[in-house]
Structure 1
Amino acid sequence: MKLQNRIALLSTLKEYLIENGEELQRIKHSASVHNGWFTIEFIDIAIKNITEQFLDTEKLTVWISHYFLDDTIVPKNVGIVMAGNIPLVGFHDFLCVFISGHKQTIKLSSKDDILLKHLVSKMCTWDAGVADYISFAAILKGCDGYIATGSNNSARYFDYYFAKYPSIIRKNRTSVAILRGDESIESLEKLSDDIHIFFGLGCRNVTKIYVPQVYDFVRLLQSFHRYKHFA
C-alpha cells in the first residue's frame, strides 16, 4: 500500500468520524456501556482531538515531510500494547506505524477494545489491503519490535519480555501546573479542563498544582464549578 493511499484512507476515516452517523453512535454507546469511564462526552472529545490534530490532511502532510517514507520498504511487524485509561488512547501509536508503511499487531486493553477495532474494520471495507497491515491479538509474539504503554509495574515486565527487541516502553506519567496568581479566568478554565476531562485519567491530565505561598483559591475553585457534577 503506497503512502498516498494511506493518507487517503486516513482522510476517509476523518470524514467518517466527523459525520458521526448512526453506526458510529451505536459503537460509542457500546464502548460507554462497556467502560463507565468512557462517557459519550469524553469519547467525542477524544475523537475531536484525533480528527483535528492527527487526521487533518494538511497537518499529516507537514508531519510526514520531516521523514523519509519509502514505498519500497519491506514492512516489519510492530507489536503494540495499548493502554485503556482514556478512549482511543493508543491511536497515535496506531497512526505512526500505519503511516510509516509497516505492519502492526495490536493488543488492546480490555477497557478499550471496541472503538479502534471498529475504526480498523471500517478501513478494511474501504480498502481490503488494510487487513494485511493491521491485526489484533490477545498475546503478542514474533514481532520485529514493540511499543508498550502501561503502569510502572507492567513496564518492568515489558522490559523483560521485549528485552531482545527494539522497543518503546512507557510508564505512568501525569502533568503538573504552576500558577503565579495572575492567570486570567480563561486560563483557569482551560486548566480546569486539563484537570477534569477524562476524569483526570489521562497522562496529560494535571494532577498537581503548584501555587505561591500566599494564593487566593477563589477564582480557581470557581473555574471548577462546571465539573461539580463529578462530585
Structure 2
Amino acid sequence: MAAESGIGRRVKYSTMLLLLVGSGLALLAATQPWFAIRLTDTANHASTITVAGSVAAPALTALSLAGLALTAALAIAGPVFRIVLALLGVLLGVSVMISAITAVSDAVGASSAAITTATGVAGEASVRRLVQSVETELWPWLAIVGAVLIILASAAVVVFSRLWPGPSRKYQTRFAGEDGRPADEVMAEAADDTPDAAPATDDDEARAAAESPEVDRPGGLDRDTAIDSWDELTRGDDPTR
C-alpha cells in the first residue's frame, strides 16, 4: 500500500510539473517577438517591424494562464472532477497549438494589426504589398512545444488518474472518512451503527415533567398582569393604586 501510494504521488507530481512547464513555456513565448517584418521602401515608415506573440496570437496569453490555473485545480480535485479537468486540459493544449500554428502559417496576416499601426495602411491586400520579407523567430515553435506538453500531461491525467492519491485532508470536510468518502455517508453509517434508544414510556414522560422546572409560569403571570394593567389604563383607571 505504501509503495503504491509513493508511485501515485510521483505520477501526480510529475504530471502536474509537465502541465506547469507547458503552460509556462506558452506564456513565455507569448511575451516574446515572433516575427520581424521587413517592409518595402515605397512609403515613409519604419523598414522593420517586430511583432510580439501576444499580437500575432492574441488568445495565447489567456490560454496559458488558464493552463496554470488548471494545474492548481488538479492539485485538489477529486477523481471525477480530475477527469473533467484533464479533458479541459487537452482542449486547452489543442487551442494553444492551433493559435501558434495559425500565426506561423500566415505571419503577414497575424502581423497585419501591427503593420497597420506602424504604417497607417489598412486592408489585407494593401498590407501584403508592403511586406518585403518575414523572419520567424524561435518563440512560436516554443509555444507549440508547450502545447504538446499540455496535451501529453492532460492525457496522462486521464490514463493514470486511478494511481493518484486522494486530495489532502485540509481540503476535506471535518467529518469526511479516511477513505475519502463524503461526510454524509460517514454520518449515515455512524447513525446506523448506533443502537436505538428504548422508547420512552408514559411513566418516564410523567417523571420528566414532574422533575422539570416550571419556567413558563412566572412568564405567564407577568403577561397576565401586564394585560390587566393595560385594560385598567384603557378604562381610565390608575393601576398603581
Q: Normalized against structure 1, the TM-score is what?
A: 0.25
More helix by share: 2
Q: Normalized against structure 2, the TM-score is what?
A: 0.24
Whose relative contact order is higher, 1 or 2, with alpha carbons under 8 Å and at least 6 apart? Answer: 2
